[in-house]
């Protein structure tokens, strides 16, 4: 029953949210806003975003693995990341787990060390998304003072404090066992200069989503300020990553319509969300399909080695008996 719920609940949530949108918004009017001209105007920025973000991802993986002493070149990193895009479409965590597995197979390190390379990038992304939302909200007059004096300070303190905790040379007593976890090794091993470079690259990576969203609004000739756009994109990224719906379907559309309500009609916002979701899916899927053999080959090799290990274990048990 738990397995059925775990697999079926996200699908049920997606169906329910999509049904709600279809019930509350005129789908025919939404589809009327979609046109070939609009799609073509959005295609150029989408193509640029697709390859630019892949280049950023590849360089970040290269830097982290070099710091761990098992560096992979940028071309290999790009192929591995692109191979995981198909699983990323299902869920962000699935893509991250697959990337850790590929890193382990390619570098020959332990799974914990490979996972640490992925983990440090994920943490930086989370910090950048939250930081983008807080900074954008701080620029709004009605909430700026509170956030600038409180939440922004707490955010910076938390991020800096976390890395200071991991990288300090002082003995931390009972907390030393936490700091010594293998999954945190990359955060400890990256030099200060390399860490600053990673932070800058992840800020650029998150900002690229704001740029892509701005291109989407421009394709539909809908005006929106940069500050509110950045804040709402940050919230949208967090909501889309929640593991409560199948491939983010339903949650992303409902969040988009709700967050940008008032910018234009709900029908046009829904059509914008549909074009954005389709564009992201097609762009990432094409890269994933091109490099999917990389992932399939590694998965098959892993399964073969696991079967061989299981067979050897069974034989050893039989001999001992």
| pLDDT for residue 151 | 59
Residues 95 and 88 sit within 8 Å (Cβ to Cβ) = yes
Position with higher pLDDT, 159 vs 205: 205
Answer whether residue 148 shows pLDDT above 70: no
Query: What would the pLDDT profile of 203-212 be if each residue is shown by its tens digit?
Result: 999 999 999 9
**If you average pLDDT over each of 156-170, 178-192, 215-229, 277-291, which comes out highest?**
215-229
Structure tokens at 289: 């399909």
How far apart, in whole angstroms, are the C-alpha atoms of residue 6 and residue 207?
33
Nearest to 231 by CA among 269, 259, 265: 259
Position with higher pLDDT, 159 vs 280: 280
Q: Is the dihedral of CA 128, 134, 138, 142 positive or negative?
A: positive
| pLDDT for residue 149 | 46
| pLDDT for residue 49 | 96
Answer whether residue 110 shows pLDDT above 90: no
Quote the pTM value.
0.81
How far apart, in whole angstroms, are the C-alpha atoms of residue 82 and residue 285?
9
Query: What would the pLDDT profile of 13-52 be if each residue is shown by its tens digit?
Result: 777 877 888 888 888 888 888 889 999 999 999 999 999 9
Residues 189 and 65 sit within 8 Å (Cβ to Cβ) = no
Q: In Å, how far are 78, 80, 241, 254, 267 from 93, measured between CA atoms?
A: 18, 15, 9, 22, 31
Q: Report CA 260 to chain centroid distance, whole Å.
A: 22
| pLDDT for residue 19 | 83
Answer whether residue 145 shows pLDDT above 60: no
Answer whether residue 250 shows pLDDT above 80: no
* Average pLDDT rounded to a whole number, residues 238-245: 71
* Average pLDDT rounded to a whole number, residues 177-205: 85
- For the chain, the average pLDDT equals 81
């Amino acid at each position: 029953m738990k397995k059925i719920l775990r697999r079926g609940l996200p699908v049920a949530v997606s169906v329910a949210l999509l049904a709600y949108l279809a019930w509350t918004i005129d789908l025919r009017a939404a589809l009327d806003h979609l046109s070939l001209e609009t799609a073509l105007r959005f295609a150029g920025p989408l193509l640029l975003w697709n390859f630019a973000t892949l280049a950023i991802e590849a360089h970040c993986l290269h830097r982290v693995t070099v710091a761990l002493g098992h560096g992979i070149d940028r071309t290999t990193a790009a192929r591995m990341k692109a191979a995981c895009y198909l699983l990323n479409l299902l869920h962000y965590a699935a893509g991250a787990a697959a990337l850790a597995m590929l890193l382990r197979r390619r570098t020959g390190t332990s799974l914990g060390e490979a996972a640490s390379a992925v983990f440090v990038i994920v943490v930086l992304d989370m910090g950048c998304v939250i930081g983008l939302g807080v900074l954008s909200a701080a620029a709004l007059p009605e909430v700026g003072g509170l956030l600038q004096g409180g939440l922004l300070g707490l955010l910076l303190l938390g991020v800096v404090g976390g890395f200071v905790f991991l990288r300090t040379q002082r003995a931390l007593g009972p907390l030393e066992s936490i700091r010594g976890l293998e999954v945190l090794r990359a955060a400890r091993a990256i030099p200060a200069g390399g860490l600053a470079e990673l932070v800058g690259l992840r800020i650029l990576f998150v900002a690229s989503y704001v740029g892509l969203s701005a291109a989407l609004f421009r394709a539909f000739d809908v005006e929106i300020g940069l500050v509110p756009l950045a804040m709402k994109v940050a919230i949208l990224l967090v909501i889309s990553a929640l593991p409560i719906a199948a491939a983010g379907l339903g949650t992303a559309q409902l969040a988009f319509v709700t967050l940008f309500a008032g910018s234009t009609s709900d029908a046009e916002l829904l059509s914008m969300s549909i074009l954005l979701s389709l564009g992201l899916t097609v762009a990432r899927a094409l890269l994933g399909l091109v490099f999917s053999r990389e992932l399939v080959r590694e998965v098959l090799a892993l399964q073969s080695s696991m079967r061989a290990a299981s067979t050897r274990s069974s034989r050893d048990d039989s001999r001992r008996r």
